[in-house]
Amino acid sequence: MRYAIRDPQGDIVSLHREPVSGAEPLPVQHPEVQAFLGNEEVRSFAQLDADLVRVLEDVIDALIRSNVLRITDLPTEAQAKLFDRKHFREGMQGHALSLYGGGQAGMSPSGHVVAPDAQDAAGTDWSDLMP
């Protein structure tokens, strides 16, 4: 819940987290609140989620590198999602560095085209999952 102060024309001029005199309580999802914020809170939350996903990927990579976990210990769907994300990220990094990459393309478990010779930033080689 946010507390909005409006100008004489009825436009929101300030938002507060705590109740203040003359403020109207509005839910964060209210269209006027979203317009005033420019969806900044929504973007911030999405960025936190993206950051957490990256942390979890790094933790999984570390567990695999230290032989605490094998990629095959994970459900097939989880393997495919991790594989796809790694290769998408690698492809984006490669695209930023060079228009054309080396090696032959392969298929991920979910059917996406990937470069088999790429490694992630942590050095994990996922090419053994290639068909």
pLDDT digits (tens, 9 = 90+) for 23-46: 999 998 899 988 888 766 666 777
Name the average pLDDT for the chain: 77
Q: What are phi and psi of 125, to 5 degrees?
A: -95, 115
Q: Where are the alpha helices (DSSP H) in 1-129?
A: 31-37, 40-65, 76-97
CA distance 32 to 70: 49
Q: Is the pLDDT of residue 83 over 70?
A: yes
Q: Confidence class of residue 94 from pLDDT cuts 50, 70 and 90?
A: low
pLDDT mean over 51-66: 93
CA distance 105 to 56: 27
Q: Confidence class of residue 20 from pLDDT cuts 50, 70 and 90?
A: very high
> What is the pLDDT at residue 95?
62
Q: Confidence class of residue 125 from pLDDT cuts 50, 70 and 90?
A: low
Measured CA distances, 31 to 10, 20, 37, 41, 68 (Å):
14, 21, 10, 13, 48
